[in-house]
Amino acid sequence: MYECSLERMSDKIKTFSKYGDAGHGGITRYALSEADIMARDEFVKRMTAIGATIETDDLANMYATIPGSDPNAKRIMMGSHCDSVKNGGNYDGILGVMSAMEVLETVTAENIPHKHPLTATIFTNEEGSEFPPCMMCSGAMAHDYMPERFRDNFAYDKMMASESIVEPGMTFGKKLSTFKYKGDKANRMSPEKVEALFETHIEQGPILEDAGKDIGVVTCVLGQMLYRVKFYGFAAHAGTFPMKKRHDAFHAAAEALCYLHEEIDKLGYEDLVYTTGEVVIHPDVNTVIPDFFDFSIDVRHEDPEVLNKVREILFSLEKREWQQCKCEVVLGWNRDTVYWNKTLVNYVRDAVEDLGYSHMDIHSGAGHDAQYISYMVPTTMIFAQSEKGLSHCEPEHTSDEICTKAASVMLNAVLKLDENGGL
Ligand SMILES: [Zn+2]
């Protein structure tokens, strides 16, 4: 078994944390920003130093490749994203890039024999912090391979037209056109060129830490559905209109939301998660009874039958009146559970067992680049324990030791795939 270098990994963590340093322990590194360029410069510097060939595609996804002994073998790819949310941490995304770099560095430093070319990758704009949607460029690249019903969400022209939420008038396409690392479409990854993708990522939840495990062998990304629940009443003066005659849309929504929680909890699924994180109120004036209220509900579970049960509860809201208001439930979007390639998952599990690190099987509640890439080439993921389960915030932390362990697991899983001659 091979192990990656703690010293080299620690140095990368320290160095990348400088690019977009927000001054209080975390980073703000939006895609295509100056900080993004600095992180990519560092990637190029370190990968060139080990003799890797650097390529970039038209979406500014980057590929650093070292050759294998078989000139006809497809590449084994590893990677993630290097952009962050506003005031994010030093690990989400970039750990997957640093681990991929670390694997290539270890293979080079220790002269580890391998047949397949090995590629470390950066996917552009995973967070969608400035230019939505999330996982934009892995989605755009996998567009032709996706199920038809959500393919349109990642149409190239639509991505290029995505408007900046911080700079009025700026679009993703416009910013990309002058970006230092925009390259050729011919360099995009494809099933003809790539055997498989491994993505290492922080867990972003507390499950591994609570179980006392360092490494998660990820089996799937949870199915997810988003609904909007809308209530229609009428507006009237807050001081003159009697309580009994009101059709208060906010009061209706509040009552319905409590009912939803009670009914969904009665289903008794401990691993079912659901969240109301966004509301719209109209007219949003403190002296007017609201005539409209709309809340989001995001629901995630592996089993589509469980999601169906929640869907039934949601639609049952429409059959009742809430504070004399009409209720309407509207689908935002949904996606099925995405299962990783079973052979790759087994290679990861074998690798972590051989290395003797503490581990468990786990699913991902969050979306990742690997999820869309999996429509195009076989993929899998490795999770590193997140301290206190925190992510998308500055205290986000994973120890240098666990980061190195995660890279070592990926290295050995990649070598198992390499040795067995592909999938
Ligand atoms: Zn991420």
Residues contacting residue 312 through CB under 8 Å, at least 6 positions apart: none
> How many whole angstroms from 420 Cα to the centroid of ligand 1?
30
Q: What are phi and psi of 149, to 5 degrees?
A: -65, -20
On the question of pLDDT at 421 being above 80, the answer is: no
How deeply is 7 buried, as exposed, middle or buried, from its count of CB atoms within 10 A (0-12, 13-18, 19+)?
A: exposed
The C-alpha angle 18, 22, 24, rounded to 5 degrees, equals 100
**Which of 317, 335, 353 is the last residue before a domain boundary?**
335
DSSP 3-state of 188: coil
CB within 8 A of 332, min separation 6: which ones? 225, 226, 227, 228, 296
Give one DSSP letter per residue of 320-359, joined into a string.
S-BTTBEEEEEEEEEEPPEEPPHHHHHHHHHHHHHHT--E
Q: 317 lies in which domain range?
A: 223-335
- To the nearest whole percent, how much of the chain has pLDDT over 70? 100
Cα of 368 to ligand 1 centre, how many Å?
6
Tell me: the pLDDT tens digits for 227-282? 999 999 999 999 999 999 999 999 999 999 999 999 999 999 999 999 999 999 99
Task: pLDDT band for 410, please (50, 70, 90 cuts).
Answer: very high
Greatest Cα pair distance in the chain: 83
Q: How far is the CA of 200 from the centre of ligand 1 (A)?
A: 10
Q: Tokens standing for 98?
A: 């640093």
* Ligand 1 centroid to residue 232 C-alpha, Å: 37
User: How do 118-123 and 75-81 pair as beta strands?
Assistant: parallel
Question: How many domains is the chain partitioned into structurally?
Answer: 2
Nearest to 273, CA basis, from 246, 305, 240, 306: 306
Do 184 and 211 fall within a single domain? yes
Helix (H) or strand (E) holding 142: helix 136-142
CATH code of residue 305: 3.30.70.360
Beta-bridge mates of residue 80: 122
Same domain, 258 and 208: no
Q: State the chain's mean pLDDT as an integer.
A: 97
For residue 291, how far is its CA from the centre of ligand 1 (angstroms)?
Answer: 39
Residue 415 lies in a domain: yes
Task: Decide: residue 148, CB within 10 A, 0-12 exposed, 13-18 middle, 19+ buried.
Answer: exposed
**And the tokens for 100?**
């991929």
User: What is the whole-number distance in angstroms between the Cα of residue 6 and the centre of ligand 1?
Assistant: 22
Whether residue 118 is found in the same domain as residue 205:
yes
- Residue 373 to residue 137: CA distance in whole angstroms: 10
Stretch 140-165: mean pLDDT: 94
Instruction: Report yes or no on 256 lying in a domain.
Output: yes
Count of H-run helices and E-run strands, the chain? 13, 14
| Residues ≥6 apart with Cβ < 8 Å to 247 | 233, 234, 289, 291, 323, 324, 325
Instruction: Please report, for the domain that includes residue 204, its CATH number.
Output: 3.40.630.10
pLDDT band at 417 (very low <50, low <70, confident <90, very high): very high
pLDDT bin (cut points 50, 70, 90) of residue 320 is: very high
Considering the domain boundaries, does residue 255 fall inside one?
yes
* Angstrom distance (rounded) from CA 360 to CA 342: 15
Whether residues 373 and 406 fall in one domain: yes
How far does the centroid of ligand 1 lie from the alpha carbon of residue 122, in Å? 11
Q: How many residues does this entry show for the chain?
A: 423
In the reported structure, the alpha carbon of residue 370 is separated from the centroid of ligand 1 by a whole-number distance in angstroms of 10
Cα 95 to averaged position of ligand 1 atoms, centre (Å): 9
Co-location of 97 and 216 in the same domain: yes
Residue 1 domain-assigned (yes or no): no
**Domain termination site, one of 294, 320, 335:** 335
Q: How far apart are CA 394 and CA 85, in angstroms?
A: 10
Q: 213 and 347 share a domain?
A: yes
Residues 74 and 10 in one domain: yes
Q: Are residues 321 and 216 in the same domain?
A: no
- Its pTM stands at 0.91
Give per-residue pLDDT as tens, 95-138. Answer: 999 999 999 999 999 999 999 999 999 999 999 999 999 999 99
269 assigned to some structural domain: yes
- For residues 241 and 28, give the distance between their C-alpha atoms in angstroms, rounded to a whole number: 48
Return the closest-CA partner of residue 100 out of 152, 48, 43, 151. Answer: 43
Distance 286 CA to ligand 1 centre (A): 39
| Same-domain pairing of 321 and 257 | yes
CA of 125 to the centre of ligand 1 (A): 10
Closest CA to 119 of 55, 168, 162, 167: 55
> Ligand 1 centroid to 126 CA: how many Å?
7
| Peptide bond between residue 133 and the one before it cis (omega within 30 degrees of 0) | yes
Residue 333 is predicted with a pLDDT of: 83
Q: Look at residue 99 and tell me if it is in a domain.
A: yes
At 107, list the tokens. 């293979």
Distance CA 92, CA 98 (A): 11
Q: How far is the CA of 184 from the centre of ligand 1 (A)?
A: 25
Distance 61 CA to ligand 1 centre (A): 15
Give the distance (Å) from ligand 1 centre to CA of residue 278: 21
For 33, 150, 326, the CA distances from 219, given in Å and listed in that order, are: 33, 22, 41
The alpha carbon of 210 and the centre of ligand 1 are apart by a number of angstroms equal to: 21
Question: In this structure, which amino acid lies at residue 348?
Answer: V
Are 249 and 289 part of one and the same domain? yes
Q: Are residues 79 and 140 in the same domain?
A: yes
Distance from the alpha carbon of residue 116 to the mean position of ligand 1, in angstroms? 26
- 347 & 304 share domain: no
In a domain, 197, yes or no: yes
Please report whether residue 170 resides in a domain: yes
Residue with tokens 């990758």: 121
- State the average pLDDT over residues 63-91: 97
Please tell me the distance between residue 93's alpha carbon and the centre of ligand 1 in angstroms.
Answer: 4
- 377 three-state secondary structure: coil
Distance (angstroms) between ligand 1 centre and the Cα of 233 equals 40
Distance (angstroms) between ligand 1 centre and the Cα of 92 equals 5
Using pLDDT thresholds of 50, 70 and 90, give the confidence band for residue 334: confident
- The domain boundary residue, chosen from 284, 312, 335: 335
- 3-state SS class at 162: coil
Give distance in angstroms: CA of 81 to centre of ligand 1.
7
CA–CA separation, 108 and 298 (whole Å) = 44
Q: Is the pLDDT of residue 422 over 80?
A: no
